[in-house]
Amino acid sequence: MAQFLSLSTENWNGYIIVLVLITSYFFYQRASKARASFPPGPRGWTWPILGNILDLNIDQSRVHLQFSEWKSTYGDVVGLKVAGQSIIVLNSRSAVLELLGRRGAVYSDRPRIPFLRELVGLDWVLPFQPYGQEMHLQRRMIDRAINTEFSRHFHGMIAQEARILASRLVANSQEFDKFFLRMTGRTLLRFTLGNQTDQDREKIMEMADAFEEATSLGTSVAGTHLVDLMPSLASLPLALFGSKTKSTVLHLRETAHNLFNNPYEMKQQDRENSVSSDPSMFRLLVEQNKQIDGSIKDEKSIKAVVTASYSAGVITGTETLKVFVLAMMHYPDVQQKAQALIDAVIGSRGLPTLDDRSSLPYIEAILKETLRWKPVIPLAFPHRTTVDDVYKGYLIPKGSTIMPNSWQCLQDAGDYPDPENFLPERFCDSTGSILLNDAPEPRQFTFGYGRRVCPGRNFAENILWVNIATLLSVFDIRRPDGQKEPRIISHMGVMKPEPFECLFVPRSEDRLNQLLADNGVDGQFTNTL
């Protein structure tokens, strides 16, 4: 106490200055929030209860376009109200990166969505997790498997699956979309659960397909159902919501339960019986969390991570490859340039692998432009604010739903001149030999934002890169006579081309022989061909 009282006048002055600054900042923040107004938007929000619900009653495939149109009227931050809930649309790169990135500490929660989380029971799904301990645990688990040296075990498998895909296209290119879906499904299954028998693999893929369809049905209801507008109703008996809702919820519950439990239990039984010792995310996480008594620590979280990892990326990966094919059909000069560069680097030694990625910057530029040109996820999964915040003089209230318009960010002519055209040269020099940083990195608008960015993005990129490089190496991708550019439609929040025809013509006898003679990159994987 005596030491405290004996502080010099100079020290006291310093403390007083700091106290005054902190107090001034506190009152400045309060005054700023008091002066700040809700972001501008369509006038519908003044209507009692309904708010802007009619402004949002538009075709799913046009929501991102409507948001972009509002930017020209209201600016890059648009405010909406629905049933008293604040919805903030972010329509610019600067707003998205500032709020969801640099201010991520208060913008990383998720909307509650009681219909899916509580009625259906999807509270285990990582994208639906609130910002907190369970979310961080699941992300750490994925990070251990994907963003470490462990993932290099699967580089050969990824290349092998790309070559299996190419072999199928040689035999029957008319079903390329089906083969793309099968390739992404097989690749993700082999990574998450390891090798399976054909019978087990088909069972799991059927469950995943059923889950995709069920989720499509669920997301068409979620957010607009009465229980989402009044969350307290989630505790009521299902029968009170009507027979249709009850039937939908029970179907979704069963499908989600099967996908969550059955594949994991199949692999756990294999492990206990010493049937399988191949590397996988499942095996890694189970072994890392096995306790002395034989129990598995955080087993529910492991199930959630494994399930999400093999079901989440199948549709987006498939549709991204279809966008790439569209680009090659309509921009043959890009295709020919890429093939010449692949031939120069790879020569006659085989087909591209991930070891060649750094030597083929033009393929990297094509991947970037594919993600930018027709983004398959135009609106990123919503975030939620945990405190009041002020941005550019606008108040963003606590509990607001934040909707990042990724499509607008990727189609902004200020960042990407002539955005409607497919131009890989945005990201490299004219020779295709050096990557440049003149244009914003499109991947920062493709895989989510800030602290909720997709933890599996690097693995997803590896799959896309190898398949793009392999298809370019083996085939001339041609547009059939009379085939017009297909319309882009929306399904389950994913933008996809309507069915279209494409020709995959082998480039040469040598390339075809290399493909057909290749029995796998890594011997440990050849038994699954």
- Greatest C-alpha distance within the chain: 93
Q: Which residues contact 247 (CB under 8 A, 6 or more apart)?
A: none
Between the alpha carbon of residue 223 and those of residues 226, 433, 501, the distances in Å are: 8, 47, 36
The residues facing 396 across adjacent strands are 389
Q: Which residues pair with 272 in a beta bridge?
A: none
In DSSP notation, 374-407 reads S-S-SBPPPEE-SS-EEETTEEE-TT-EEEEBHH
Q: Give the other-Cβ count within 10 Å of 8's Cβ.
A: 8
Residue 403 has phi, psi (to 5 degrees) of -115, 105
Cα first-last separation, the chain: 79
Q: Which two tokens mark 236?
A: 């009521």
> Six-digit token pair at 489?
């439609």
Write phi, then psi, for 349 (nearest 5 degrees).
-80, -5
Tell me how far apart the alpha carbons of residues 243 and 249 are, in angstroms, rounded to a whole number: 10
Q: Any binding-site annotation on 409?
A: no
Number of CB atoms found within 10 A of residue 271's CB: 17
- Burial of 153: CB neighbours in 10 Å, binned 0-12, 13-18, 19+: middle
Alpha-carbon distance 13 to 161, whole Å? 70
> How far is Cα 333 from Cα 528, in angstroms, rounded to an integer?
37
The DSSP 8-state label assigned to residue 120 in this structure reads: I
The full DSSP string for 26-78 is HHHHHHHHHH-BPPP--GGGGSTTTTTTTTT-S-GGGHHHHHHHHHHHH-SEE
Residue type, 387: V
Q: In this structure, what token pair is assigned to residue 317?
A: 């990966």
Q: Is residue 142 a contact partner of residue 456, using CB atoms and an 8 Å limit?
A: yes
| Cα separation, 90 vs 101, whole angstroms | 13
Binding residues for heme: 454
Binding residues: 454
